[in-house]
Structure formats: structure tokens, C-alpha cells
Chains A and B, each alone.
Chain A
Amino acid sequence: MSSITSAVPALELKDLRKSFGRTEIIRGANMRVQAGERVAIIGPNGAGKSTLFNLISGRFAPSGGEVLLGGVRIDGKKPYEINRLGLSRSFQITNIFPKLSVFENLRCGVLWSLGYRYSFFKFLSKLDDANRRAEELLAMIRLDRKRDVLATHLTYAEQRALEIGITIAGGAAVVLLDEPTAGMSKAETTRFIQLIREVTVGKTLLTVEHDMGVVFGLADRIAVVVYGEVIAFDTPDAVRANPRVQEAYLGSPVADAQGGAH
């Protein structure tokens, strides 16, 4: 469970802004996420959720404001610099290494964190720690039987699982998952959420989600993003009851979910 302490937040956004040309997509986003929290980010389409992820992970540089990872400013840094500081992300559109095997995919995710850098003097087969870690990840995401299959031959759900595997491979403390269950059936989603819960134990998790069942089941706190601002950031019940949120996004389905309580 989350611990609301006054310790340095694992991730903090301070008045974050981003414009593309003259259109301001992110208009002053503020958020403080504590270590170990599970946060779900929801909001209407086009609200800027993926853009927020892109800003945090360094894919784009912000036009204004700050992003702090464990108190250290990471805005403006390159993606690999941010990754090395302990933040990792997955993508909405599956982003794996199609011509490498599942095992190789995972191993690639592991190499830097184990300190292998740009080495061309060591043989991959002899890197016991890397190989062991890759095997562990393989078991964790339950793709053991597809170990040597080329990633491009996996099913969609398997590729999404591999995507998560690569994301957590480096042992990052803060993990961003961008719509991890997009395109999955109900059954697959349920299984996948269980997987996400298992693999992110002890980590700080931020996930963009549309499926409300997933959100309310998984998250400690929910951040609601509308028009590039975080209009609410609170526990699920508080968010459900928040009138601004109801008006902007949830609308009637919330009333239904609450049953006849109101």
C-alpha cells in the first residue's frame, strides 16, 4: 500500500507545459507520486496522457516546467539518460525488437543495468548474470515456451507481455505503462493485470488506462487529466465522487457503478 509520507516523491511534475507549434497540449500539469504507489492516469481522448508519458520519459522535451525523478531534475535529458536514472516505460503501440528472439529481447533490456555497456570483448553466452536475469524475466512473463521464437511471430497478447518484460528488465524503480491492455479481450486483460501486479511489486507504477474496471482494481491513486491539466489526483473513491471529474469524464457510468448509493 502507499505510504503518504513527506519523503522525496519518486516522481514529481511541476507546472509541466508542452506546446506543439502554437497549440499547448500540456498546460501546467502538477503531480507528486510517492515511492511504491500505483497510479492510474485516466482522461478523455486527446487530453494529453501519452504526451505526459513522452515528456516524463524524455521522448520530447517540455516547453516549460520541471520533471523530477527522486528529487533530481530529468526534464530535457535524453531518454537513455533518464532510463539510466531508474525510469522505464512501455509503449501504446508494441515496441519490441522484431527480429530477435524473445530471450534476446529480454537480454537486451538487461545489459546496460548490469554494467555491460558497449563491450565487444565479452561473449553474450558467458554473461551468467545477464542470462540468469533474462531467464527469470522469461518465467515472470510466462513466455518460457516461446524462448527462442522470433518476437515478430508472437501473438498480440504475448508481444504485450514481452513489452512489459523489456520495460522492467533493467530493474527501474519507476515504471510507466502506456495502455498496457489495449486491444485485449476481457479474459486476457484480467490475466494481464495480475501479471502487472506481480512484476511491479515494490516499484512505483504509473499506467495510462481506459478500462475502468482495471483502473479501480489496480490503482492506489487515480490522476485525471483533462485538456493537459491534472484536475484531480486522489484515491479511487474520492475521484469517483469528485464532481469536476464526473462532469468532465466519467459521467453517468459512474453513477451506475456506484449502484443506488446516490
Chain B
Amino acid sequence: MAKASSSSFYRFKPLNLGRIVVWSAFALVLLVAPLVFRSSLSHTLLSQMGIAIIVCLSYNILFGQGGMLGFGHAVYSGLGAFLAMHTLNWASAGNMPFPVSLVPLAGGLAGLLFAALLGWITTKKSGTTFAMITLGMGELVWAMSLMFPEFFGGEGGISGNRVLGAKPLGISFGPQIQLYYLIAIYTFVCTALMFAFTRTPLGRMLNAVRDNPERVEFVGYDTQMVRYLAFVIAGFFAGISGGLAALNFEIVTSEVVSAYRSGAYLLFTFLGGATFFFGPIIGAILMVLATVLLSEFTQAWLLYLGLVFLFMVMYAPGGIASLVMMNLRVVSFGLFGKLRLPYLGLLLTGMLAFTGIAALIEMVYHLQLNAALNPVLNFMGVMLDTHGVLSWLSVGAVAVVGAALFAIACRRFAQVWSGIQGVIEAEIQRREAAP
């Protein structure tokens, strides 16, 4: 019996080079990004991305790792923001020297405490019931935020000033770039901690609970306790994110605990990909880009978002991360060449269809919201008259033709793709069978 065992657990484990490279690259990107993107808009975006990364990763502890779909995560990031702001103001009033750089930790503590308080009842149930409970809890806190203006600041919220106290090394956190680096440090540390969590007993049992909650009970673990502890940990990191947001915007309003925000966390974490650790990072970046940039381009951005989300749920439930990984797998088997042409077809027909459909949507929006001013819409350089039949017909034609061509391209792509998958499966079988 001892034969096979001895060779397997005295495995020679050299330093995991791949992992070191990835984390170093991550740190490098965080460090260098504001130097590459120099405008103040970029710095604002980057700061918000860092904050979003932390909160989306914390949401994924529950959603992707624990299988708990919740609609109330903004409660914990929001309460963290409020408490952090109060801490900041309290320190500003000269009560006690409290370094600004530690204010987000106050937010984290708030997130932790509230999650500990509300978490036990919330995790009493699982699945769809859990989803509804989180929705109700979120509404409860949001409604309460209007009831206690002393803590929540009423309509105007609570504001503060992050430039206070001693300025060690001349760092006041006034300029955005300084705050960005503070956020970057928190982002790196929190990401590392949350990744480490996935490699602990609790993290693994959380996955087991997601896969088979009943079986977990029969190996000695209390399923609810596992969920509860994960809930509290997720609340902690959400609170840190909220604290950083409080510093970044220097104002916190009750919107931070709203159902809208919780929904955004869910939407973008799913879009980024809940089944891989780095998926929410992609989702967080998209979240910031969409809410800040896309909303400037078009009034229809929420509609586009909803449609993209719908398609993702139907055709790519693993999110963008899973799409990336699936393609990487194809590359690793050396079969990507076959996909070049189908992808090109998808891209071209997709762009055509999208142009037509987007133009239609924009024209309708324009008609509804702006037509009083000027019936002509400037769509990507083309002048479209929302009152003219010709414009409508031509746009409609583009949309219809584009959609039809896209459907054909999709079918062709699916054929090639499943063919490749078959080859890959066969190869895997072959490799497993060989000793």
C-alpha cells in the first residue's frame, strides 16, 4: 500500500513560475496604467476600476464560488461607504489622528459587522429564496436610509474631505493620482487575499456547497455556517470597496445601497464571467467603462446592456472569461487556425447587423426624446432624418440584411466550433487512456 503514496506526496514543487508571472504582471499594470493613460479622465476611470474590481470580486465569492445569487450586495459596500465617510469626518473634526489611508478599513469593518448581523437570517435559505431575501434586505436598508437622515444625510447625502491631517512624505491624497495609487495598493492586496481564500478549506468547502449542498452535510460540515462565513467575508471586502469610493467621490448618498447598484454588480460580474477567478475583474472594468463612457455616447446604453446580458445568459453563461478560456484551449491544441475565417465572418456580419439595429434604436430614442429640437440624428457621421421615410427604410434594410447574414455566419461558426470541440475531446480521451 505504501508503494504509490511515497512518490506522490514528496513531489518536487519548484516555485510556481506561471503564478508569479501573472501576479507580477498584474502589479505592473496597476503601477504603470496611469502613466500610459495620462488624462485626468483616465485617472478617474482607473481609480473607479480599482474600486469596482474589489467589489465585483467580493460579489463573486458568493455568486460564482458559492452559488448564491444575491440582489443585495450593495448594502454592504454602501454601508461601508457611509461608515468610512463618518470616520473621515470624525477624524477631520480633530477628534483623533486617524490616517486617511486606513479609512477604507473602517469601511471594511462596517461591511463585516453588518454582514455578520444580517447574514445569518439571509443565509437561512438557499437558491431562489435566498435571492428574494437579499432583495428584501436590500430594500429594507435602502428604505431605512431615507428614514434616518442623521446617519444617511437625507437627499444630499454625506460629504467629506479626504485632505486632512499630517501629510507624511507630502502625500495628502488630494490629487487624483495619489488617491489612485492608494486604491491600487488596496486593489492588489484585496485581490491577492480573495484569491488566497479560494485555496483554503473554507473556500473549497464553499465550492462544495455550490456543487452539492446536501453532500456537504454528510461529510460533517454545516452548510449554513459555510455560507454565512463566506457572506461575512464578502461583506468585509465590499465594505473596503465602499470606503475607497467614499474617499474617491468625497460624497456618499443613499444611492450606494440601492437595488440598482446591486443589480449592476450582478450584471457585470456575470458578464465578466463568474466561473473563473479573473472574470469579475473583466466585469468590473466593463462596469466602469459602461456607466461612465457608454452612457455619454448614447441614451440607449441600458437597453444595449440588457440585450447583451440576455444574449450572454442564453449563449455564453460562463461570461467573457469563459469565452477567453475556451479559445485559449483551442489555441493550446493548435487548432485556432480553423477559426480565423469564421471569426472574421462573425465580426463583419455582426458589425453590419449591429450598425443597422443600433441606428434603429438610436432613431427611436431620438424621436422620443430629442425630436422637438432637431429631427436629424448624427449617427456615427451619417445624417439620419427621423422624420424621413427613406432613412427609416434604409436603416431597417441594413438591420434586416445584417441580422440575416449574421445568423448564417453564426451557424457556420457553430459548425466549425463543434467540429473542433470534437477533435479536442477525442484528444483528451486519448491522453487520459495512455498511462
Direct A/B contact, Cβ within 8 angstroms: yes
State A88–B215 Cα separation when bound (angstroms). 11
Partner of B4, one of A83, A99, A144: A144
Partner of B212, one of A88, A97, A128, A146: A97
Residue A40 lies at the interface, judged by CB distance under 8 Å to chain B: no
> Known: A79-B218, A95-B214, A144-B4. Is A124-B201 also a contact (CB below 8 A)?
yes
> Known: A96-B212, A97-B212. Is A116-B5 also a contact (CB below 8 A)?
no
> Known: A98-B211, A98-B212. Is A113-B1 also a contact (CB below 8 A)?
no
Q: Report the contact-size class of chain B (Cβ under 8 Å from the partner).
A: 35 or more
Partner of B197, one of A79, A120, A139, A145: A120
Report A171 CB to chain B, min CB distance, Å.
10
User: Are B218 and A83 closer than 8 Å at their CB atoms?
Assistant: yes
Query: In the complex, which residues of chain A have a beta carbon less than 8 angstroms from the beta carbon of B199?
Result: 123-125
Residue A104 lies at the interface, judged by CB distance under 8 Å to chain B: yes
User: Are B219 and A109 closer than 8 Å at their CB atoms?
Assistant: yes
Task: List A residues at the B interface (Cβ < 8 Å).
Answer: 57, 59, 78-80, 83-84, 88-89, 91, 95-100, 104, 107-109, 111-113, 116-125, 127-128, 131-132, 135-136, 139, 144-146, 149, 166, 169-170
Closest to B212 in A: A97
User: Are B200 and A119 closer than 8 Å at their CB atoms?
Assistant: yes
Task: List B residues at the A interface (Cβ < 8 Å).
Answer: 1, 4-5, 8-9, 196-197, 199-205, 207-208, 210-212, 214-223, 225-226, 229, 233, 432, 435
Interface of B is mostly: helix
User: Are A88 and B218 closer than 8 Å at their CB atoms?
Assistant: yes
User: Are A132 and B9 closer than 8 Å at their CB atoms?
Assistant: yes
How many A-B contacts at CB < 8 Å in the complex? 113
State A112–B8 Cα separation when bound (angstroms). 23
State A148–B214 Cα separation when bound (angstroms). 23
User: Are A108 and B204 closer than 8 Å at their CB atoms?
Assistant: yes
> Known: A108-B208, A128-B9, A145-B432. Is A80-B220 also a contact (CB below 8 A)?
yes
Report A150 CB to chain B, min CB distance, Å.
11
> Known: A100-B207, A118-B201, A120-B233. Is A83-B215 also a contact (CB below 8 A)?
no
Query: In the complex, which residues of chain B have a beta carbon less than 8 angstroms from the beta carbon of A117?
Result: 201
> Known: A95-B212, A95-B214. Is A120-B229 also a contact (CB below 8 A)?
yes
User: Are A80 and B222 closer than 8 Å at their CB atoms?
Assistant: yes
Partner of B226, one of A118, A121, A166: A118
Report A53 CB to chain B, min CB distance, Å.
11
User: Are A166 and B219 closer than 8 Å at their CB atoms?
Assistant: yes
State A83–B4 Cα separation when bound (angstroms). 30
Report B317 CB to chain A, min CB distance, Å.
14
User: Are A116 and B201 closer than 8 Å at their CB atoms?
Assistant: yes
> Known: A98-B212, A112-B219, A149-B432. Is A118-B4 also a contact (CB below 8 A)?
no
User: Are B220 and A97 closer than 8 Å at their CB atoms?
Assistant: no
User: Are A113 and B196 closer than 8 Å at their CB atoms?
Assistant: no
Report A57 CB to chain B, min CB distance, Å.
7
State A100–B215 Cα separation when bound (angstroms). 13
User: Are A120 and B218 closer than 8 Å at their CB atoms?
Assistant: no
State A121–B207 Cα separation when bound (angstroms). 17
Report A262 CB to chain B, min CB distance, Å.
44
Query: In the complex, which residues of chain A have a beta carbon less than 8 angstroms from the beta carbon of B5?
Result: 132, 135-136, 139
**10 tightest A-B CB contacts, nearest first:** A112-B220, A79-B217, A120-B202, A97-B211, A120-B200, A83-B220, A116-B201, A80-B217, A109-B219, A108-B208
Query: In the complex, which residues of chain A have a beta carbon less than 8 angstroms from the beta carbon of B226?
Result: 118
Report which residue of A80, A84, A104, A145 has the largest number of chain B beta carbons within 10 angstroms of its beta carbon.
A80
Partner of B204, one of A89, A107, A170: A107
State A104–B223 Cα separation when bound (angstroms). 18
User: Are A100 and B211 closer than 8 Å at their CB atoms?
Assistant: yes
Report B125 CB to chain A, min CB distance, Å.
16
State A10–B229 Cα separation when bound (angstroms). 35
User: Are B201 and A119 closer than 8 Å at their CB atoms?
Assistant: yes
User: Are B9 and A97 closer than 8 Å at their CB atoms?
Assistant: no
> Known: A79-B217, A149-B432, A170-B220. Is A123-B208 also a contact (CB below 8 A)?
no
